[in-house]
Chain A
Amino acid sequence: MFIRRTLPLLVSAIFGVALIFQFFIPHPASKSFYNMMLDWLIIVSAFTYLIAVQSTVELHITKIKRKVEGWQYSIIVLVSLFVTALLGIFGGAFMPTTLWMKIFHNVKPTDTTPLMYTYLYMQMPMQSTIFSLLAFYMASAAFRSFRARSFDATLLLITAGIVTIGRVPLGEFIYKGLPDVVEWILKYPNMAAQRGILIGVQLGIIATSIKIILGIERKYLGGGK
């Protein structure tokens, strides 16, 4: 019980209070304490990736064993995982390793590493593809929300119409002052609403942090009480 509940609560309380005070102390000792905390975070994060690999491998091996629908894709995931890891270990991340250059004599130190090659020519295009889907999703979402079924939706439709037209050269062509109207909408009514939400969010963040530091909120440790 001490290890699972009391110790984590103590650690979060002590380090929570320490880091709050650290923010108000500009002394180099306080700065080095903060940097040390960041280093610890990086070290802990690095180790947690082992847990991530373990989770991925376990999940997909279970899928393959049970032959669940689409289990063939799990083989692709596992093969990709290990091939990428091996390319990184033997080929190097940012510049080719000596071992890699010994195996492939024509590889120069300035050449792109195999890992970087997979990142630039496989991972990046795939990410861009998913990102580009946003344009279509935005169009369909806009179509649904701009249907003038109520007063609010009509207001939204009119505002969105003005902002959309005012943001392209056509808007200025129709009416010269339209970009200024758009600027006003974004700067005042829109910004006022955003700031209203943000004030609430910031208070919520501070309250949650205080709750964690004081040990009032402990659901993140597992269990309610």
Chain B
Amino acid sequence: MKSKILFFIFILLSFFFIFSQNLTQTDQKLFTPVDSTVLKNFIVRDVGNDDGTRIEVFCNFPFDGKNFTLKLYRKESGDSNFKMLKTIKSFPFKIVDEGLFSDKKYEYYISFVDSMGGESEKCIINQPISPKPDLFKTDKTILLLMIIIYTVVIILLVESVRKGKELFVRKISGLDTLDEAVGRATEMGRPVLYVPGSSTMSDIATIASLNILGPVAKKIAEYETKLIVPNRDPIVMTVAKEVVKESYSEAGRPDAYNDNDIFFLTDSQFGYAAAVSGIMTREKPATNLLLGMFWAESLIMAEAGNTTGAIQIAGTDAVTQLPFFITSCDYTIIGEELYAASAYLSREPLLLGTLKAQDYFKGLIIIILTLYFLILIISLITGGNITILKNIMEFLRFIFKS
């Protein structure tokens, strides 16, 4: 009996002890005052380099966020409504408030919420502020400078070529074979199929392709061979018609031009691939030229052409499609060669000048990358203690980031 009473007393005491502890814990307010020293740690400012629609709120003070959360509110100046933006649990934080208007003023408030859910009064943390639209993206200065330097280099090289300077251009076998490919079609009495890619006129690869179409069409007109140009985009079709018509006129064969040979197929990606494959199978062109921008349909067209035994020259700047063309085509014009093709084929001095500018800039990029790589290795060996190297690396990183 004695032991039972003692056990009962123990249970009661335990309950009392645990309960009282809980009471103490819940009763204790973990955060109460919001004083001015705390508020000073919150900074509200306009986000730079934007169209005047963003304000950022941040706090660098490392509050212990375990016992309370913070609520951030926004209020338009003169308005009585608060809009809760976010509940913040970890510190320091940075929030970008978007979708604002530059002609309105905004005030930001915070309140602290303790573990019981009790919220302190809302305290204003800034003077009314308006987001300001900027006139220049300062973070893109390096990019603008690069474009200006590149343009100047192009103009200087074009001018030097105009004065008679001769420039060396390396051999591009895919482009050298174009003559042979057109000649083969003439000998076999079969047409040449020219696919200007699957993209629209706003894609530079399509423009590059149409620049190649000109000299190719001229050659075809001279050889009196049939040229077929199926299109996926009506604007590209219109431009292709114009390019081919002019080239036939230049070759002195305007009568050989047939408007129906340059036509629109469909704007459906795989519908276009199926139609081009069908043309390859039915018309059996001796030469297939696939130049421009391609996506997943590239292999369907290239493999269909491969089965017909046509000589195939492909070119694209789509890195993911290059392996397909390399596998299925006889010659592949890789990436930048597509943009060099126009200058290479026409041998126009002015265009060759721009080609050289491309090479010089590529050389500059290679030098910068090698320099960065070397400095990185030296820094790793020396433990990163050399200040000059640190500064150079910071500068190079800044250039790359821009």
Report A-chain residues with C-beta under 8 Å of the C-beta of B339.
Answer: 201, 204-205, 207-208
Question: Does A194 lie at the interface of the complex (its beta carbon under 8 Å from any beta carbon of B)?
Answer: yes
Report B-chain residues with C-beta under 8 Å of the C-beta of A11.
Answer: none
Per-position binary interface string of chain B over residues 263-277, scored 1 when its CB falls under 8 Å from any chain A CB and 0 otherwise: 110011111011000
- Give the A-B pair count, Cβ closer than 8 A: 196
A142 to B317, CA, bound (A): 21
Report B-chain residues with C-beta under 8 Å of the C-beta of A133.
Answer: 300
Given A131-B270, A219-B243, A220-B243: A56 and B357 within 8 A (CB)? no
A49 to B300, CA, bound (A): 26
Question: Does B102 lie at the interface of the complex (its beta carbon under 8 Å from any beta carbon of A)?
Answer: yes
A134 to B273, CA, bound (A): 11
Cβ-defined contact, A204 with B234, below 8 A: no
Per-position binary interface string of chain A over residues 59-75, scored 1 when its CB falls under 8 Å from any chain B CB and 0 otherwise: 10010000001100000
Question: Does A203 lie at the interface of the complex (its beta carbon under 8 Å from any beta carbon of B)?
Answer: yes
Task: With both chains docked as a complex, state the minimum distance between the C-beta of B115 and any C-beta of chain A, in angstroms.
Answer: 43
Instruction: Tell which of A70, A137, A197, A209 touches B300, judged by Cβ atoms closer than 8 Å.
Output: A137
Given A26-B134, A203-B362: A134 and B208 within 8 A (CB)? no
Sorted from nearest, which 4 A-B pairs have the closest CB atoms? Answer: A204-B339, A200-B336, A222-B246, A223-B246
Per-position binary interface string of chain B over residues 151-167, scored 1 when its CB falls under 8 Å from any chain A CB and 0 otherwise: 10011001000000000
Question: Does A102 lie at the interface of the complex (its beta carbon under 8 Å from any beta carbon of B)?
Answer: no
Cβ-defined contact, A55 with B263, below 8 A: yes
Task: With both chains docked as a complex, state the minimum distance between the C-beta of A47 and any C-beta of chain B, in angstroms.
Answer: 9
Report A-chain residues with C-beta under 8 Å of the C-beta of B247.
Answer: 222-224
Cβ-defined contact, A221 with B51, below 8 A: no
Task: With both chains docked as a complex, state the minimum distance between the C-beta of A222 and any C-beta of chain B, in angstroms.
Answer: 4
Question: Does A52 lie at the interface of the complex (its beta carbon under 8 Å from any beta carbon of B)?
Answer: yes
Cβ-defined contact, A223 with B249, below 8 A: yes
Per-position binary interface string of chain A over residues 123-145, scored 1 when its CB falls under 8 Å from any chain B CB and 0 otherwise: 10011001101100110111011
Instruction: Tell which of A48, A144, A197, A211 touches B335, judged by Cβ atoms closer than 8 Å.
Output: A197
Binds A, one of B14-22, B70-78, B84-92, B322-330: B322-330
Question: Does B399 lie at the interface of the complex (its beta carbon under 8 Å from any beta carbon of A)?
Answer: no
Cβ-defined contact, B362 with A224, below 8 A: no
Given A24-B140, A200-B336, A219-B342: A207 and B264 within 8 A (CB)? no
Question: Does A1 lie at the interface of the complex (its beta carbon under 8 Å from any beta carbon of B)?
Answer: no
Given A123-B268, A201-B335: A222 and B242 within 8 A (CB)? yes
Best-buried of A127, A209, A212, A224 by chain B (most CB within 10 Å): A224
Residue of B nearest to A143 (CB): B327
A51 to B299, CA, bound (A): 29
B residues 206-261 in Cβ contact with A at 8 Å: 207-208, 210-211, 214-215, 218, 233-235, 237-239, 242-243, 245-247, 249-250, 260
Residue of B nearest to A146 (CB): B327
Cβ-defined contact, A26 with B260, below 8 A: no
A residues 185-225 in Cβ contact with B at 8 Å: 194, 197-201, 203-212, 214, 216-217, 219-224
Task: With both chains docked as a complex, state the minimum distance between the C-beta of A173 and any C-beta of chain B, in angstroms.
Answer: 27
Question: Does A28 lie at the interface of the complex (its beta carbon under 8 Å from any beta carbon of B)?
Answer: yes
Report B-chain residues with C-beta under 8 Å of the C-beta of A48.
Answer: 233-235, 238
Task: With both chains docked as a complex, state the minimum distance between the C-beta of A42 and any C-beta of chain B, in angstroms.
Answer: 12
Question: Does A103 lie at the interface of the complex (its beta carbon under 8 Å from any beta carbon of B)?
Answer: no
Cβ-defined contact, A221 with B242, below 8 A: yes
Cβ-defined contact, B358 with A207, below 8 A: yes
Per-position binary interface string of chain B over residues 134-176, scored 1 when its CB falls under 8 Å from any chain A CB and 0 otherwise: 1111001000100100110011001000000000000000000
Q: A41-B202, A206-B150 are in contact. List 8 more A-B contacts (CB 8 A).
A: A52-B267, A56-B264, A137-B300, A199-B362, A207-B154, A207-B355, A217-B342, A219-B210
A24 to B299, CA, bound (A): 39
Per-position binary interface string of chain B over residues 104-148, scored 1 when its CB falls under 8 Å from any chain A CB and 0 otherwise: 000000000000000000000000000001111100100010010
- 27 CB < 8 A contacts A-B: A26-B137, A27-B133, A27-B134, A28-B102, A48-B234, A48-B235, A51-B238, A51-B264, A59-B263, A62-B260, A70-B282, A137-B300, A145-B327, A197-B319, A200-B335, A200-B336, A205-B204, A207-B357, A208-B207, A208-B208, A210-B154, A211-B354, A212-B207, A216-B350, A222-B245, A223-B249, A224-B348
